[in-house]
């Protein structure tokens, strides 16, 4: 094995290790632990978009299935539009289904980005397992949610969500999950836990990164050449997730973004004929993500959960 091959293998091993800590935040913990130890010794399908904006008024109202692709933008959009509920809540089932499609999107971008998607799958599985456990003991879960309806001040939409959750489960929506876990003392504001609230915060941050990346891909410059997806993804990361990651994770992420395919790949992935058509599709997805993101952001912010460890 030559020097270049050995270097490539070393980088891949490093990415595998750091990728496993991408969203978990565990790299910071392990790094701090090492430093503390050192100091002791030496003193981390198709969908009709009925809510299209004026920018999309001239575009098609239906996104077709793209033959031969595992990722389907039509399915992603359908799940995203099904997620908002009442006036300010987000249903967890379509929210997690949206992530299932976004994982396929990331997997399609190559093995390096695929390392990140594996961590996202870990996060979605945590929430699904918590929901399954809640279904097995609904009395305790629903009791805590019913209590929170009387003890926590909410807007009309949030109260409607609580009423609904009494019949569908504590993990029916983002808000019902938050109130249930708060009342059961599951959320820890000082230490890392596998609570649904902490887990969805990590997904929430990653969703902002993907939203910004998708928006940048959709941009059509008035003059000049279109920028490379690699540069756009790196910029989106630097203004979102990077602020929550250590130096090591940031370097690993930038290595992964270098390997992103060129723009022509995205035309094929979404069955778009040109940049204009690609932009119409991606703008609709970005708008749907924004609605879900804003609702989740508001729910987390109202409960002081935007900085959970």
Domains identified in the chain and CATH numbers: 67-215+222-302 (1.10.3520.10)
What are 305's strand-pairing partners? none
What number is the average pLDDT over the span 165-174? 77
Q: Are 204 and 223 in contact (CB under 8 A)?
A: no
Question: For the purposes of burial, counting CB atoms within 10 Å of the CB of 251, is it exposed (0-12), middle (13-18) or buried (19 or more)?
Answer: middle
pLDDT score, position 13: 42
pLDDT score, position 12: 52
Rg of the chain, C-alpha, whole Å = 21
* pLDDT band for position 55 (cuts 50, 70, 90): very low
pLDDT score, position 76: 97
List of residues 6+ apart from 58 with CB closer than 8 A: none
- Identify the three-state secondary structure at position 184: coil
* pLDDT band for position 152 (cuts 50, 70, 90): very low
Examine the pLDDT at 145 and tell me if it is beyond 50: no
Q: pLDDT digit string (tens) for 193-244?
A: 889 999 999 999 999 999 999 999 999 876 778 899 999 999 999 999 889 8
Structure token pair of residue 4: 């270049």
Among candidate residues 246, 269, 241, the one with its CA nearest the CA of residue 257: 241
| Cβ neighbours around 279 below 10 Å, total | 19
Q: Are 127 and 170 in contact (CB under 8 A)?
A: no
φ and ψ of 184, to 5 deg: -90, 0
Spatial distance between the Cα atoms of 80 and 308, rounded to a whole number of angstroms: 25
Residue 59 DSSP symbol: S
Q: pLDDT digit string (tens) for 242-265?
A: 898 888 888 888 888 898 999 999
Stronger pLDDT, 32 or 198, i.e. the higher one: 198
Residue 93 DSSP symbol: H
What number is the average pLDDT over the span 131-148? 64
Spatial distance between the Cα atoms of 210 and 9, rounded to a whole number of angstroms: 28
Hey, which bits of 125-282 come out as E strands?
none
């Amino acid at each position: 094995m030559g020097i270049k091959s050995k270097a490539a293998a070393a980088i891949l091993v490093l990415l595998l290790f750091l990728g496993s800590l991408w969203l978990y935040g565990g790299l910071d913990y392990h790094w701090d632990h090492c430093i503390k130890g050192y100091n002791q010794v030496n003193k981390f399908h198709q969908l009709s978009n009925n809510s299209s904006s004026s920018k999309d008024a001239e575009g098609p109202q239906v996104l077709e299935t793209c033959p031969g692709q595992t990722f389907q933008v039509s399915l992603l959009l359908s799940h995203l539009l099904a997620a908002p509920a009442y006036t300010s809540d987000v249903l967890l089932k379509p929210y997690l289904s949206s992530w299932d499609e976004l994982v396929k999107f990331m997997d399609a971008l190559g093995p390096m980005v695929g390392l990140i998607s594996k961590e996202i799958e870990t996060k979605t599985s945590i929430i699904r397992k918590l929901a399954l456990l809640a279904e097995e003991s609904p009395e305790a879960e629903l009791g805590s949610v019913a209590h929170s309806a009387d003890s926590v001040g909410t807007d009309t939409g949030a109260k409607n969500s609580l009423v609904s959750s009494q019949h569908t489960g504590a993990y029916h929506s983002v808000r019902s999950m938050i109130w249930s876990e708060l009342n059961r003392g599951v959320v820890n504001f000082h230490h890392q836990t596998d609570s649904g609230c902490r887990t969805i915060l990590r997904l929430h941050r990653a969703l902002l990164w993907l939203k910004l990346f998708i928006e940048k891909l959709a941009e059509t410059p008035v003059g000049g050449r279109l920028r490379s997806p690699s540069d756009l993804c790196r910029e989106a990361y630097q203004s979102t997730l990077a602020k929550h990651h250590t130096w090591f994770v940031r370097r690993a992420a930038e290595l992964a973004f270098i390997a992103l395919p060129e723009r022509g790949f995205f035309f094929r992935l979404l069955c778009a004929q040109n940049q204009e058509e690609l932009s119409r599709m991606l703008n609709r997805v970005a708008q749907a993500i924004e609605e879900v993101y804003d609702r989740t952001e508001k729910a987390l912010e109202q409960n002081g959960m935007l900085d959970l460890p």
